Amino acid sequence: MESLKKSVKYLYGLPAFGFQIFVNAEVFFLAAFLTDYVKLPIALASSLLLITNIFDIIWVPTAGVILEKSDMKWGKYRSWLLVGPPIAAILYVMEFSKVSDNNTINAIIIFIGFVVSHLVWNTYYAAHIAMNNSMTTIREERVVMSANRGIFNSAGALVFSYFGVSSILSVGEAIGNPTMGATLVVSVLGIIMTVCFWVYFIITKPYAQTGVEKKDGATVKPPIGEMLKQIIVNPPLIGLMLVELGRYLGRFIIFGMAFYYFKYVLNDLGGLALFMTGLTVAQIVAAAIAAPIANKFGEKYTYFVSMLLLVAGLLIVWAVPVTPTAFKMIMFVAYLGYGLPDSLNVAMYSATVDYGEWKTGRNVRGFIMSLISFPIKAAIFVRSIIIAAVLTAAGYIADMEPTAELVNGIKNGFALYPAIIIIIGLVLMFAMYSLTPKKLQEIHEELGHK
């Protein structure tokens, strides 16, 4: 198979950059928008967030089914890069709008904007991920593209952290309407995201139909039962999803507990911003070195050893009293261990697509690649439960004086529990994810002979 054009390989992450800028408005700001801008009662806002998160989890496999059943003229997967982003951007504006003084009407509009936009964006997000597998069968190219996506992902998150929320606040202040300021900024973010996807749509024109299975001139659309079967008969996919669940859950708990750790354990709340920025920089550095390391040692072993580095860092700050500066340095190094797998997971999911085709004779690329989002959504849902349980068990009350029980509880929640969760995931992955470079080469050779 011929190598991909350099622009296709090295701009593979561009849509991810736009997507991160776009989606982080919701991650960082939606809860505050509901309570402080739209002025929804806490009970209504909490219910709205809970229900929409449940829909978001359901939409992950649903988006995969839609992707496999679709067949637009610009390519099975590539077409969604053109069609999906502007639709999601418009719906996203609904999610960040206040159209009435009636709370029920506002909640309904926001609910519709959230639920429908997430179904659309889960679909075109999965389509972009699936192109890693459809455009090339060369493992090294897939790894390079996956790592490139990691760089752009982190860069997008970094850009939003510096300019996103501050832009919402400053625009709202400038026009004298904070709610409309949020709506306008989100509109601009939607345009940026759409442009990023459209640029990649344009440069991938030669690969519109590459890797798409056809029969009698029509794109093959596998039945839903065949898609679901691929999960059951695909141990590498199950193992990868479980370790990714552990990795994301660990990360979200760390992020969620960081405020309490800096305030009550380190007494350094002012250092939290530097800490969060440093983790993002570490993730960018890890993404930059991921491809050569993985191509030398294989994705599985790179993933495994990298995550052990994160676990080691967590256990050190849990077991050993450290200064705020030492804590940051240890965690910056440890977080390289998180960033390497984050830059390889697309290539690893791509390998499970090949395994599934080799095992069953059917390729359900779009469905399997859509599942990359499932561990993220599930981890977000579970994280809040764990953090609430940790703080309750530690006897936490806002602005209380630190007690030994509180400090130990926060240290356990920040470091020990995420380490245990990650270790369990790694054990399951090591046992189930059997796709080494040699095994993948054998699979490609067998598929090529069919």
Whether the predicted pLDDT of 61 surpasses 90: yes
CATH code: domain of residue 400 = 1.20.1250.20
**Cβ-contact 184, 169 below 8 angstroms:** no
- For residue 181, the Cα-to-chain-centroid distance in whole angstroms is 27
Overall average pLDDT of the 201-217 stretch = 80
The predicted pLDDT at position 71 comes to: 85
Last residue of a domain, one of 180, 210, 240: 210
The answer to whether position 315 is within a domain reads yes
State yes or no: pLDDT of 214 exceeds 70: no
215: pLDDT strictly greater than 80: no
Report the pLDDT value the prediction gives residue 85, as an integer from 0 to 100. 97
Do 213 and 363 form a contact (C-beta atoms < 8 A)?
A: yes
Per-residue 3-state assignment (H helix, E strand, C coil) for the chain: CCCCCHHHHHCCCHHHHHHHHHHHHHHHHHHHHHHHHCCCCHHHHHHHHHHHHHHHHHHHHHHHHHHHHCCCCCCCCHHHHHHHHHHHHHHHHHHCCCCCCCHHHHHHHHHHHHHHHHHHHHHHHHHHHHHHHHCCCCHHHHHHHHHHHHHHHHHHHHHHHHHHHHHHHHHHHHHCCHHHHHHHHHHHHHHHHHHHHHHHHHHCHHHCCCCCCEECCEECCCCHHHHHHHHHCCHHHHHHHHHHHHHHHHHHHHHHHHHHHHHHHCCCHHHHHHHHHHHHHHHHHHHHHHHHHHHHHCHHHHHHHHHHHHHHHHHHHHHCCCCHHHHHHHHHHHHHHHHHHHCCHHHHHHHHHHHHHHHHCCCCHHHHHHHHHHHHHHHHHHHHHHHHHHHHHCCCCCCCCCCHHHHHHHHHHHHHHHHHHHHHHHHHHHHHCCCCHHHHHHHHHHHHHC
Residues 247 and 192 in one domain: no
Residue 327 lies in a domain: yes
What is the mean predicted confidence (pLDDT) over 306-328? 96
Average pLDDT of the residues in 380-398: 87
Say if residue 178 is in the same domain as residue 301.
no
- In this predicted structure, the answer to whether residue 218 has a pLDDT above a threshold of 70 is no
Q: What burial letters (b/e) apply to 197-220, b meaning 16+ CB within 10 Å?
A: bbbbbeebeebbebbbeeeeeebe
- Section 44-54 average pLDDT: 90
Lowest mean pLDDT among 24-33, 116-125, 361-370: 24-33
Residue 342: inside a domain: yes
- Please tell me the distance from the alpha carbon of residue 223 to that of residue 208, in angstroms, as a whole number: 23
Identity at 224, one-letter amino acid code: I
Neighbours of 299 (CB within 10 A): 29
Residue 226 maps to a domain: no
pLDDT category of residue 290 using cuts at 50, 70 and 90: very high
pLDDT in tens, 239-269: 999 999 999 999 999 988 999 999 999 999 8
Residue 161 clears pLDDT 90, i.e. is over it: no
Task: Assess whether 238 and 199 both reside in one domain.
Answer: no
Q: What is the pLDDT of residue 11?
A: 95
* One domain for residues 279 and 425: yes
Token duo for residue 209: 């139909």
Place of tokens 């930059």: 288
Q: Are both 44 and 179 inside the same structural domain?
A: yes
Distance CA 210, CA 20 (A): 27
Looking at the fold, whether 334 and 187 belong to one and the same domain comes out as no
Mean pLDDT of 310-316: 97
Same domain, yes or no: 169 and 307 = no
Which of 432, 413, 58 is closest to 243 using CA atoms? 432
- Torsion sign, CA atoms 130, 132, 138, 144: negative
Q: From residue 295, give the alpha-carbon distance in Å to each of 17, 155, 301, 372, 444.
A: 24, 23, 11, 21, 17
Q: Decide which of 214 and 159 is more confident.
A: 159
Dihedral sign, Cα of residue 249, residue 254, residue 256, residue 257: positive
Confidence (pLDDT) at 381: 86
Cα angle 40-44-45, degrees, rounded to a multiple of 5: 65
Global pTM? Answer: 0.89
- Whether 272 is covered by a domain: the verdict is yes
Question: Model confidence at 385, in pLDDT bands (50, 70, 90)?
Answer: confident
Q: Compute the mean pLDDT over every residue in the chain, rounded to the nearest whole number.
A: 91
Measured CA to CA, the distance from residue 141 to residue 155 in angstroms comes to 21
Q: Are residues 300 and 347 in the same domain?
A: yes
- Per the structure, the complete domain to which residue 22 belongs is given by 6-210
Question: How high is the pLDDT of residue 213?
Answer: 67
- Under the banding of pLDDT at 50, 70 and 90, the label for residue 36 is confident
| Whether residue 391 sits in one domain with residue 246 | yes
What pLDDT sits at residue 349? 95
Report how many domains make up the chain: 2
Q: What pLDDT shows up at residue 219?
A: 67
Residue 218 lies in a domain: no
